[in-house]
Structures are given as structure tokens and as C-alpha cells.
Amino acid sequence: MTDDTKPDVTSGRYPGYDVLAKRDTPSWNHVTREVIDRRVATENQPKFFDPTEWRTLVAVCDRVTPQPHGRSQVPVAALVDRQMLHGKLKGYRLADMPQPAEAWKRALAALEDLAMRAHGRPFAHLTAADQDAILGQMKDGKLDSEALRGMPSKTFWKSHVDHDLIASYYAHPEAWSQMGWGGPASPRGYVRLDLDRRDPWEPEEAMPGKEAKAERENKRVV
């Protein structure tokens, strides 16, 4: 990770904490390091979706998984893109749903179709309120577009928007640092599992007026 891509870890509830500082410690084994290295190296550009689909997907991610300012951003859209590129499946498929890659293409086309018909502009160029209104129709199963080709939008939302976007966000180390999670613990393992207890290599949450103390402590957490 180069200097210009290092996360700003001085803000938030766990100031000074960067879960990637554990990379070369006993917390992670070589398999964990390989998996996380691939996630961190994900370029924020499409390899599966076409430019229009990508533009719409990025806009959807911005509304569904908004991220704090002043920190590195989790490339949610790119992580979803790579899942489709590599044909990642869920191990099941509902009878009224196509395969994930096809489902995403239909849904993105439907969002773009409705945006153009209702507002005369691409989905990505709508106001946040208008985007939310269209996404609300999808979530409620009321999105009407021939682009869906019979795919129920409510089922798509539950199966893919909720699952793919949120899972992608919380699978990334930047999200772990933001919420103070210690990351995978193989082979070290978690020991202090009781309420309000933490292992010495877990971060300290910043209490009001004690942010500087938490930052000092968290810079030593590996």
C-alpha cells in the first residue's frame, strides 16, 4: 500500500487503529494474508460491467453503503463487479431469479430505464432524493420496467442489494478499522469474549474527552 492510499486512521471511533498493521503478526497466517491482500488490491474500476452499468452501480453503492468522509473508501462496486466477473454464486438460486450476473444486469438496466423515463436523466445524475425514491420502489417490489424481464425487484433487493453490497463493504479491512474489529484471528484466535473485555491486540474505542488516549493505545495494537 503506497503512502497516497493509506487510510486516514486519526478519526472515527477507533482513532489510530489500522487493522492492516496486523498483516505480518501472529494474528494472520499466510492464507489470511493472501485473501486480504487481494481485497486491498482491488482496483476501483469495472472489469465485468459496461460503462453505463458501472456508473449506475456506483451510484447505487453510494446510496446503500454511504461511507464516512476523511477516510479511505471501500471499493464496494468493484468488489461486486469482481464477484460477477468470477461467476461467484450463493450455493442456491430462487426459482424466479436468474443467475447473479444476469440479475444484476437486468436490475441496473431497470434503474437506468426508470430514471430516464421519470426524470430524463441517467440514474447516476439524479438527486439523492430521486435515487432513493427509485431504489425504494425496487426494495418494495414496485419497480416497473421491461428491463427486469419478469424478475421480481423485491427478491433481487433481498438477494443481491442487501447481500452483495453490505457483505462486500464489511469484508474489506477499511471497514474493520472503522468499526474496531480485529479481523480474522488465524492462528491467534480470540480469547477475551466476555462483555466489555478485549484482547490486547484489539483496538480501544474513543470515549468523549479521551480520544488522544485511544489513539495512543491503538497505534500500538498489532
Question: pLDDT per residue over 103-153, tens digit each?
Answer: 999 999 999 999 999 999 999 999 999 999 999 999 999 999 999 999 999
Confidence band (pLDDT; 50, 70, 90) for 82?
A: very high
Supply the pTM of this predicted model: 0.86
Q: Per-residue pLDDT for 8 more than 70?
A: no
Which of 35-44, 61-70, 191-200 has the weakest average pLDDT? 191-200
| pLDDT (mean) for 45-68 | 97
pLDDT at 107: 98
Average pLDDT rounded to a whole number, residues 11-39 = 88
**What one-letter code names the amino acid at 190?**
Y
Would you say residue 6 has pLDDT above 60?
Answer: no
Query: Which residue, 38, 72, 25, 77, is CA-closest to 185?
Result: 25
Instruction: Quote the domain boundaries for residue 120.
Output: 1-222
Count structural domains, the chain.
1
Rounded Cα gap, residues 51 and 213, in angstroms = 46
The SS3 call for residue 193 is coil
Statement: residue 49 has pLDDT above 80:
yes
Cell triple for residue 139? 426494495
